Structure 1
Amino acid sequence: MYELENPSAEDTRCDHTVILDHLRGEYICTECGLVISREFVPPSYKINPSTETDHRNSGTHFVALGDRLNIVDGLGSYMGYQFSTFFVDKNGNPLSSKKQTLFKRLKYRYDLRARIDKQETDYRSLMVLNRVCSMLPSINQNIKNRAAYLYQKFIKDLKKGDFYNHLNLIAVCLYLSVKEYTDTVPLNIKEIADAFKKLHHRVTTKSIIKTALLIKPKFKDVFQNHQSTKSEDYLSKIIHKITASAEIKIRLAKLDRTEFQYEKALLKESQTILNSIPITARGGRNPYILAAATVYAADLKIAKGSKRRAVLTQQLLSHLTGTAEYSVRDHWRGLVYNYL
C-alpha cells in the first residue's frame, strides 16, 4: 500500500503491485499506471569513500612527480598508478585486452623516454651516486640528497670545459656533503675514489682534487662553509676498524682482554696524545694518517703501562686502515713520538 507524492491528487492510496520503471526511474502501479514515487539512481561515476583497497578516485591516480633530487624523472603524469600494469577507464571498468596491451607498451615507452631523454648524462651520474652511496655504510639519505642537490646546482652554472667529467663532479659533491654532516663518520677522498673504482669508473683521488680546485672559484659560498677535518674526527672510525678485525680479536684473546676494554682504553689514550699535539705542529700532514699513527702510539703506551706485548704492528695497522706503512712510520717517528 503506497501513498502518492502529490497530496492534492484525489487518489492517495493504491493496493496493487508496484514495479520500478528503469527508464524513468519511477515506481508505478501495474494495474492503473499510477506513479507512486521516484527512485534516485546513482550516476555512472560517483566519488566513492576512500578505502585501502580501492584508490580509483584517489588524488594520486594521476600524479606528476616532477624532479626529485637523486633521480631524473619525467615532468608529465603517469598512466594509471606509478607502477601499475593494469588499466581501467574513468568508471573503474577494466579495459579490453587489446587496450591493456597498448597502454602497457605506451607506459613503458613513455617512462623510459621521459627518464633519460636529453638527460642521459645526468641520469647516469645520479645512478652512479646511488650505487656508490649504497656501498658506503656511513652515507645516509640526507647526505645523498645533499650531494645530488649540489650536483644539480653546479651543473646549472658550469659550462662544458669547466670541469673534467660528471663522475668526478659527483664525487666532489659527495665529499662536500659528507663534510657538512659532522655527526656522521667522516670519509676521506681516497675512500670515495675507491668506491667509484669498485664500479669500474676512472675516478681517482687526484682527479677529485683537481675538479674541486677547478670549480671552487665559481662556488666560493659552498666551499667556504666546509672546515678541514681534524685527526680527532677519524679516531673512532680507525679504532672500530681495528677492533672488528679477526686478527686483533685473536691477539686480544691471548692477552685475556675484551674488545670493549681495549677499544675504550685505546680511544682515551689516543685522544690524550692528540690533545698534546698543537695544531701548528701538525703542519700539512694528512689528518687520517696522523690519526692512525696516534692510535699506534697509544697502543704502545698502553702495552708499556701494562707491561705486556703490543697488540698492533705498523704492518697490521696499515693493512687495517688502508694506509701505507711508510706513511704511518713517518708520522709516528716524525711527530707523534716527540709528544709521548
Structure 2
Amino acid sequence: MQEIEKLKVLQSDRESLKSRTKQKELERKAENATETACPECGSRQLVHDHERAELVCQSCGLVIDNDFIDRGPEWRAFNADQRTNRARTGAPMTLTIHDKGLSTMIDWRNRDFYGRAISSKNRAQFYRLRKWQRRIRVSNAIERNLAFALSEMDRMASALGLPRNIRETAARVYRDAADKNLIRGRSIEGVVAAALYAACRQCSVPRTLDEIAEVSRVSRKEIGRTYRFVSRELGLNLLPTSPIDYLPRFCSGLKLKGEVQSRAVEILRQADERELTNGRAPTGVAAAAIYIATILCGERRTQREVAEVAGVTEVTIRNRYKELAEKLGIELII
C-alpha cells in the first residue's frame, strides 16, 4: 500500500508539471504575439539585445521592451560532456510518446543517485515500485491507444528512414484525429499510416502510398481511404506533391552527381510552366526527368535502374521521357 501511495503522489506531480508546462507555453505564445511588430513603424525586424536586456526595432531604433527575462542557463558549457553534466532538466517534450515524455521512470539498475549499490533489503521494494510504475503509466484507454499507436508509428518511420520532424508532425496529426474521435470504427494501423503519409506531404519529404503500405500492416487502398477521410475532417488542405520533391531521394539512390539533379530540376520546371505534369504521377515524371538528365550530362542510367529506384515501370518512364523530350524540344542521342 505504501508503494501505491508513493506512485499516486508521483502521478499527481506529473499532472501538475504538465499543467505548469502548458501554462508557460500559453504565456510564451502571448508574449511572442505582442512582440511581432514595431508599434512605431510596423516593421517586424525586432532584435533582442541580450547585453542590455532590450527589444529593439532595427528599422527605427525604438526600444519596445526592456528588462526582459533571460530564459537561458546561467552556466556555460564548452563541450558536450559539460553540457550534459550541468543540465538540470531531462529530455525535451515530445509528441511521439503518449505522455509527452513528462512521466517519471525508475531505472532498472539497482543503484542510487550517487552510483552506490542498493542493499538487498530494499531491492524487493524497488522491484515492486517498478512494476506499479509500468502499470499506472498507462492509466486509461486513451493513453493505451496512444501508446500502441505511437510505438507503431515509430516502427514505420524507422523502417522508412524518416527524420524527427516528420515523426512529430505525424504524432500531432494522429492526436488531433484522436481528439475528434475519428479513430472509432477504423484500425489504429490504418490511421497511423495515414497520419504518417500526411506528415510526409506536409514536410515536403514525400513517400508514396506503396512505400507506406510496405512497412504497415494494412493495404494501400485502406491507407488512401483513411487519409482522405482524416485530411477532410481535419482540414489539412495539402497541395499535390511536386515531382521535384522526389529528385533528391532518387538521385541519391542512383548515386548521381549534383549536376544531374540540377538539370532534372530545370527540366521539371520547364515542364511545369507548360503544364506537362498535370494529371501525371509525380514519381513517373521525376523518373523520366532524371533519365533525360543522365543522358544529357553523360552519366547514363538504364530505364530499368531508374525504374527500380523510383518504384515505377519501364513503360511509364519510356512514355513520359518521350513526351517531355518532344514537348520541350530536347534532342536525345540514344
Q: If the length of structure 1 is used for normalisation, what is the TM-score?
A: 0.60
* Residues 264 and 109 of structure 1, relative CA distance in 2, 3 Å threshold: same
Residues 75 and 114, structure 1, Cα contact 8 Å, conserved in 2 = no
Q: What is the Cα deviation at residue 148 of structure 1?
A: 0.9
Q: Residue in 1 aligned with 2:206?
A: 186
Q: What is the Cα deviation at residue 264 of structure 1?
A: 3.2
Structure 2 Cα separation of the partners of residues 96 and 316 of structure 1: 63
Structure 1 Cα separation of the partners of residues 261 and 118 of structure 2: 67
Confirm whether residue 297 of structure 1 aligns to residue 292 of structure 2: yes
Structure 1 Cα separation of the partners of residues 187 and 149 of structure 2: 10
Structure 1 Cα separation of the partners of residues 233 and 181 of structure 2: 8
Larger radius of gyration: 1
* Residues 286 and 94 of structure 1, relative CA distance in 2, 3 Å threshold: closer
Structure 1 Cα separation of the partners of residues 315 and 259 of structure 2: 26
Q: What is the Cα deviation at residue 335 of structure 1?
A: 4.2
Confirm whether residue 72 of structure 1 aligns to residue 98 of structure 2: yes
Structure 2 Cα separation of the partners of residues 175 and 160 of structure 1: 16
Q: How does 1:1-340 map to 2 (within 5 A)?
A: 68-73=94-99, 78=104, 82-83=106-107, 85-86=109-110, 97-115=120-138, 118=141, 119-137=143-161, 139-159=162-182, 161=184, 164-182=186-204, 185-196=205-216, 201-202=217-218, 204-220=219-235, 223-224=236-237, 226-243=238-255, 263-277=257-271, 278=273, 280-303=275-298, 311-339=300-328, 340=330
Q: Percent identity?
A: 21
Q: What is the Cα deviation at residue 169 of structure 1?
A: 1.2
User: How large is the RMSD of aligned CA atoms in angstroms?
Assistant: 3.6
Q: What is the Cα deviation at residue 291 of structure 1?
A: 0.6
* Residues 191 and 99 of structure 1, relative CA distance in 2, 3 Å threshold: same
Structure 1 Cα separation of the partners of residues 128 and 176 of structure 2: 35
Structure 2 Cα separation of the partners of residues 268 and 96 of structure 1: 65
Residues 234 and 291, structure 1, Cα contact 8 Å, conserved in 2 = yes
* Residues 72 and 275 of structure 1, relative CA distance in 2, 3 Å threshold: closer
Q: What is the Cα deviation at residue 299 of structure 1?
A: 2.3
* Residues 87 and 302 of structure 1, relative CA distance in 2, 3 Å threshold: closer
Residues 171 and 208, structure 1, Cα contact 8 Å, conserved in 2 = yes
Structure 2 letter corresponding to 1:239: C
Q: What is the Cα deviation at residue 293 of structure 1?
A: 0.8
Structure 1 Cα separation of the partners of residues 103 and 258 of structure 2: 55
Q: Residue in 2 aligned with 1:247?
A: none
The alignment covers a number of residue pairs equal to 241
What are the Cα deviations for residues 271-307 of structure 1, in whole angstroms up to 9, with x where unaligned? 232222135332211112101011112223345xxxx
Q: Residue in 1 aligned with 2:67?
A: none
Residues 307 and 314, structure 2, Cα contact 8 Å, conserved in 1 = yes
Q: What is the Cα deviation at residue 151 of structure 1?
A: 0.7
Residues 297 and 337, structure 1, Cα contact 8 Å, conserved in 2 = no
Structure 2 letter corresponding to 1:217: R
Structure 2 Cα separation of the partners of residues 130 and 266 of structure 1: 34
Q: Any gaps of 5 or more consecutive residues in structure 2?
A: 1-80, 82-86
Q: SS at 1:228's partner residue?
A: coil
Structure 1 Cα separation of the partners of residues 152 and 127 of structure 2: 28
Residues 177 and 183, structure 2, Cα contact 8 Å, conserved in 1 = no
Structure with greater helix share of residues:
2
Residues 266 and 295, structure 1, Cα contact 8 Å, conserved in 2 = yes
Q: SS at 1:177's partner residue?
A: helix
Q: SS at 2:276's partner residue?
A: helix
Q: SS at 2:301's partner residue?
A: coil
